[in-house]
């Protein structure tokens, strides 16, 4: 816990500079490109959510897109209501097509911006706490967590597709209005919106890093290594797991809300198997042990996809598949692992040599003296 704090801060500061200064410059400050990069940032945030529970606590959540999708639907519901104000009874158009008489009760509260913003975080957190409590109190681990989260996501996705009169079904929620915050009508193609997304990302990552840097993060790492042993030191492992799981769900919820704004619609594919596994894979490419690396993985893969899919058309997906296989085979800790290995090599090359030599001689000295001290006791 004590070590490497300065280096991590420098790394994070570089990341912040990249997000705040370099990306807008890369995008030429032009609206369309800024919107695209904002999307990458949001997908990076989703990858960070995966890394938070997987890389730290060892909980592989294959259903991360569930909470992401719920976040996006919550935001879309609010924006849809806003767009439908002129309609009869303020009802969204698709409800009229399915002969709904009045707005369903659970749509009502989403008229309010503040309720929507709170719900976009708290509902994913609540769902994750419930399902997490259900799983982790039963000491479910590893592949079983993966299957349960995956099944739940598919079940909810099926429900959303089938209940067209409430959810817009397969089409999702389209034709959304612009969000209005404190009288500011958000233009998703503007620089201001990009900075709002970047700000959300940096705040979320900072808070998450604080959490992981604290002793709670250390306990999570201990749990990943040996949950049984951690219990015998008095830590309630399942509560820690639920907290990590729910925190990552909250982050995914925020990402989902932003995503619905950026693309201007919410769709059942947001909680699909492909997107969910893509989150996991981006986190793996960047490095699951660090949420910043996972974010960069998400941003990087999507940036590459944006550039290369123009060049290779359909073959891009093929290339992506090959990259994933290669990363899993040869870089199990992702690009972050590669960087860390380099750092350790550099450290031992430039500085640690004389110190470690000193240490070993001290060691000898110490083991002799302490041994005799203890003899004397």
Partner 1 sequence: MHSWLNEIFIGLSLTSILLMVALGLAIIYGTMGVINLAHGQFVMIGAYVAWFLQSQFGIGIIVGLPLIFIAGALLGLAVERTIIQRLYTRPLDTILATWGIGIVLEQLVRGLFGSDSRYVARPEFLDGNLILAGVHMSYYRLFIIGFALLTLAVTWFLLFRTEFGTKLRAVIQNKEISECYGVSANRVYAVTFAYGAGLAAIAGALITPMVSVTPTMGTGVVVDAFLVVIVGGVGSIVGTAAAALMIGEATAWLSYLLSETTARILILLGVIVLIRFRPQGLFPDKVRR
Partner 2 sequence: MAALTLEKLTVKFGGLVAVNELDLHISDGELRCLLGPNGAGKSTTLDLICGKTLPTSGRILLGDQDITHLPEFKRARAGVGRKFQTPTVFKELSVIENLEIGRSAFPGVFSTMRVFRTPIRGQIREVLSLVGLDYEIYTKAENLSHGQTQWLEIAMLLMQDCHVILMDEPTAGMTAQETKQTASLFRELQGEHTMIVVEHDMAFVRDIADIVTVMDGGSLLAEGSIAEIETNAAVREAYLTDTGDDDA
Which residues bind to partner 1, rule: CB under 8 A? Answer: 60, 62, 134-135, 138, 140, 142-144, 146-148, 150-152, 154-155, 158-159, 161-162, 273-274, 277, 280-281, 284, 314-315, 317-318, 320-325, 328-329, 332
d(CA 243, CA 249): 10
- Interactions with partner 2, residue window 200-219 (CB under 8 A): 211, 213-216, 218-219
Which C-beta is closer to partner 2: that of 84 or that of 247? Answer: 247
Which C-beta is closer to partner 2: that of 203 or that of 326? Answer: 203
d(CA 20, CA 35): 14
**Among partner 2, partner 1, none, what binds residue 349 when CB lies within 5 to 8 Å by partner kind?**
none
Which C-beta is closer to partner 2: that of 99 or that of 361? Answer: 361
Which C-beta is closer to partner 2: that of 165 or that of 221? Answer: 221
Q: Is 1 in the site for partner 2 (CB under 8 A)?
A: yes
CB of 173 to partner 2, least distance (A): 36
* Pair of tokens at residue 91: 């009802």
**Among partner 2, partner 1, none, what binds residue 325 when CB lies within 5 to 8 Å by partner kind?**
partner 1
- Interactions with partner 2, residue window 229-248 (CB under 8 A): 229-237, 239-240, 243
Q: Is 221 in the site for partner 2 (CB under 8 A)?
A: yes
CB of 103 to partner 2, least distance (A): 39
Q: Is 372 in the site for partner 2 (CB under 8 A)?
A: no
CB of 240 to partner 2, least distance (A): 6
- Residue 320's alpha-carbon distances to 48, 65, 84, 155, 197, in angstroms, are 20, 20, 40, 28, 26
Q: Is 361 in the site for partner 2 (CB under 8 A)?
A: no
Question: Following CA atoms 58, 61, 65, 70 in sequence, which dihedral angle do they give, to the nearest 10 degrees?
Answer: -100
CB of 277 to partner 1, least distance (A): 5
Q: Is 114 in the site for partner 2 (CB under 8 A)?
A: no
Which C-beta is closer to partner 1: that of 319 or that of 340? Answer: 319
d(CA 63, CA 249): 10
**Among partner 1, partner 2, none, what binds residue 354 when CB lies within 5 to 8 Å by partner kind?**
none
Stretch of 86-94, 296-304, 306-314, 359-367 contacting partner 2, by CB under 8 A: 359-367
CB of 369 to partner 1, least distance (A): 42
| List of residues contacting partner 2 (CB under 8 A) | 1-3, 211, 213-216, 218-219, 221-222, 225-226, 228-237, 239-240, 243, 359, 362-363, 366-367, 370-371, 374-375, 377
């Amino acid at each position: 816990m004590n070590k490497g704090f300065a280096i991590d801060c420098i790394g994070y500061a570089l990341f912040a500079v990249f997000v705040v200064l370099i990306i807008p410059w890369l995008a030429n400050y032009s609206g369309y490109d800024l919107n695209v990069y904002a999307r990458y940032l949001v997908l990076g945030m989703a990858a960070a959510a995966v890394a938070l529970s997987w890389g730290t606590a060892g909980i592989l959540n294959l259903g991360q897109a569930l909470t992401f999708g719920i976040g996006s639907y919550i935001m879309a519901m609010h924006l849809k209501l806003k767009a439908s104000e002129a309609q009869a009874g303020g009802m969204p158009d698709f409800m009229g097509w399915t002969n709904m008489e009045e707005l369903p009760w659970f749509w009502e509260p989403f008229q309010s911006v503040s309720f929507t913003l709170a719900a976009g975080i708290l509902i994913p957190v609540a769902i994750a706490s419930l399902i997490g409590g259900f799983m982790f109190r039963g000491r479910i681990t590893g592949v079983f967590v993966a299957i349960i989260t995956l099944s739940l996501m598919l079940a909810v996705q099926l429900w959303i597709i089938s209940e067209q009169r409430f959810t817009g079904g397969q089409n999702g929620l389209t034709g959304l209005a612009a969000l209005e915050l404190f009288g500011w009508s958000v233009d998703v193609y503007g620089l201001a919106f990009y900075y709002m997304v970047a700000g959300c990302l940096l705040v979320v990552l900072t808070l998450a890093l604080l959490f992981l840097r604290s002793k709670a993060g250390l306990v999570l790492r201990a749990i990943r290594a040996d949950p049984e042993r951690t219990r015998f030191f008095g830590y309630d492992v399942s509560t820690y797991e639920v907290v990590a799981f729910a925190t990552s769900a909250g982050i995914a919820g925020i990402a989902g809300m932003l995503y619905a704004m950026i693309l201007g619609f919410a769709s059942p594919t947001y909680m699909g198997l492909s997107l969910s596994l893509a989150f996991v894979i981006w986190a793996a490419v960047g490095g699951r042990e660090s949420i910043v690396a996972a974010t960069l993985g998400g941003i990087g893969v999507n940036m590459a996809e944006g550039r290369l899919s123009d060049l290779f058309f359909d073959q891009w997906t093929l290339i992506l598949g090959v990259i994933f296989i290669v990363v899993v085979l040869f870089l199990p800790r992702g690009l972050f692992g590669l960087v860390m290995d380099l750092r350790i090599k550099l450290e031992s090359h430039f500085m640690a040599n004389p110190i470690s030599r000193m240490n070993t001689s001290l060691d000898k000295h110490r083991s002799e003296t302490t041994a005799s001290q203890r003899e004397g006791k």
